[in-house]
């Protein structure tokens, strides 16, 4: 369904920079007043992930800032800031990101190499200076979280993943996410040998359509080959799945997507809509960033009929 704008990446690591030397990947992207704004995950000489910032008029040619706009600051994120998803609500930018640290919250259980991960939220007035709000949960293996672009039923709404399932969460203040306001939506496809039979997760900000929230998701099979699919969720109750595609809309094909730092991975945190077209910014092989596009109506049709 998605067509690549080029066989090559549109954004590459900078070998002259100490903090984005090796990999640039999994970017968040918004489109505002003719300008693409990108917050991307980068790894440099110390292999710690930081968030960089770049802008573009066409989504292909980019100007990037020399230094990261969001950096590690304490033991809870000392191993990196990962996989940003950014949405603008009421004039404020909100970033969902995963904090990977050497410490765990008091009472928590280590999830990664004696440390832990936390699904965090930060905010910014200008997209460059960021202030942490806090985690949506602590002490568990939880990530792939992202905010809906508007409130639902008067509350902020968010997708997150308690492996192996995708969950919905609500909050009145973006700080507290009560457990009683959380519910699972769907998980890996149990039957057969499909592309999402082993694991699933959410990608970029859900897109509001007349047919429902169009959610681009990702999954992998027993060989850990990543693909992306689509689902339609009810506009007023996103725990209700209207339709979930059995087929995929994008998968690894180019050599740099198949080999990469992590092989056979295409992964997206951003799919802004420009006019009638969805721009899928994605990472190939956890190494570089590519761009593919598709008509929005075609994606909705695929979700309903495939």
Helices (H), the chain: 255-258, 296-305
Q: Which of 98, 85, 88, 5 is nearest to 39 (CA)?
A: 85
6 pairs with which residues across the strands? none
Q: Above pLDDT 70, what percent of the chain?
A: 100
User: What is the per-residue pLDDT for 109?
Assistant: 81
Q: What angle do CA 70, 260, 27 make, to 5 degrees?
A: 30
Cis, bond preceding 164 (omega within 30 deg of 0): yes
Strands annotated E in 10-102: 23-32, 35-43, 49-56, 63-64, 80-89, 92-101
What pTM did the predictor assign?
Answer: 0.97
Mean pLDDT of 50-62: 98
Residues 6+ apart with CB under 8 A from 297: 276
Chain segment 256-270, per-residue pLDDT in tens = 999 999 999 999 999
Residue 238 domain boundaries: 3-305
Q: Is the pLDDT of residue 193 over 80?
A: no
Residue 297 is part of a domain; what is its CATH number?
2.115.10.20
Contact 246, 194 (CB under 8 A): yes
Mean pLDDT of 226-244: 98
User: What is the per-residue pLDDT for 34?
Assistant: 96
Q: Above pLDDT 90, what percent of the chain?
A: 93
Q: Is the pLDDT of residue 9 over 90?
A: yes
Chain segment 162-188, per-residue pLDDT in tens = 989 999 999 999 999 999 999 999 999
Contact 75, 87 (CB under 8 A): no
Chain segment 92-138, per-residue pLDDT in tens = 999 999 999 999 987 778 888 889 999 999 999 999 999 999 999 99
Total structural domains within the chain: 1
| Token reading at 98 | 């995963």
Mean pLDDT of 201-228: 97
Mean pLDDT of 221-230: 96
User: What is the per-residue pLDDT for 139?
Assistant: 87
User: What is the per-residue pLDDT for 160?
Assistant: 98
User: What is the per-residue pLDDT for 108?
Assistant: 78
Chain segment 259-305, per-residue pLDDT in tens = 999 999 999 999 999 999 999 999 999 999 999 999 999 999 999 99
| Token reading at 176 | 């507290």
User: What is the per-residue pLDDT for 80?
Assistant: 98
Contact 241, 232 (CB under 8 A): yes
Which helix (H) or strand (E) element contains residue 192?
Answer: none
């Amino acid at each position: 369904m998605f067509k690549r704008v080029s066989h090559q990446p549109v954004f590459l690591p900078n070998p002259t920079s100490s903090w984005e030397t090796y990999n640039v990947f999994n970017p968040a992207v918004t489109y505002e007043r003719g300008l693409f704004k990108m917050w991307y995950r980068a790894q440099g000489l110390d292999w710690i992930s930081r968030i960089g910032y770049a802008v573009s008029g066409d989504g292909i040619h980019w100007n990037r800032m020399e230094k990261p706009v969001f950096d590690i600051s304490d033991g809870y994120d000392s191993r990196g800031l990962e996989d940003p998803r950014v949405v603008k609500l009421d004039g404020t930018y909100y970033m969902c990101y995963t904090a990977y640290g050497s410490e765990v919250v008091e009472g928590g259980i280590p999830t990664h190499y004696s440390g832990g991960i936390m699904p965090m939220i930060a905010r910014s007035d200008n997209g460059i200076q960021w202030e942490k709000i806090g985690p949506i949960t602590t002490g568990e293996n939880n990530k792939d979280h992202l905010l809906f672009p508007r409130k639902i039923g008067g509350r902020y709404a968010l997708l997150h993943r308690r492996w192996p399932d995708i969950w919905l969460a609500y909050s009145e203040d973006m700080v507290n996410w009560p457990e009683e306001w959380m519910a699972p939506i769907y998980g890996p496809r149990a039957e057969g040998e499909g592309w999402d039979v082993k694991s699933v997760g959410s990608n970029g900000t859900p897109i509001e359509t007349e047919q429902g929230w169009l959610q681009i998701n990702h999954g992998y099979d027993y060989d850990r080959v990543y693909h992306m699919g689509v689902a339609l969720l009810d506009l007023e109750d996103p725990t209700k799945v209207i339709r979930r595609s059995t087929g995929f809309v994008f998968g690894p094909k180019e050599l740099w997507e198949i080999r990469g730092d992590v092989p056979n991975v295409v992964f997206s945190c951003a799919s802004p809509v420009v006019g009638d077209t969805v721009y899928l910014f994605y990472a190939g092989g956890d190494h570089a960033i590519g761009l593919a596009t598709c008509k929005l109506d075609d994606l909705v049709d695929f979700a309903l009929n495939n």
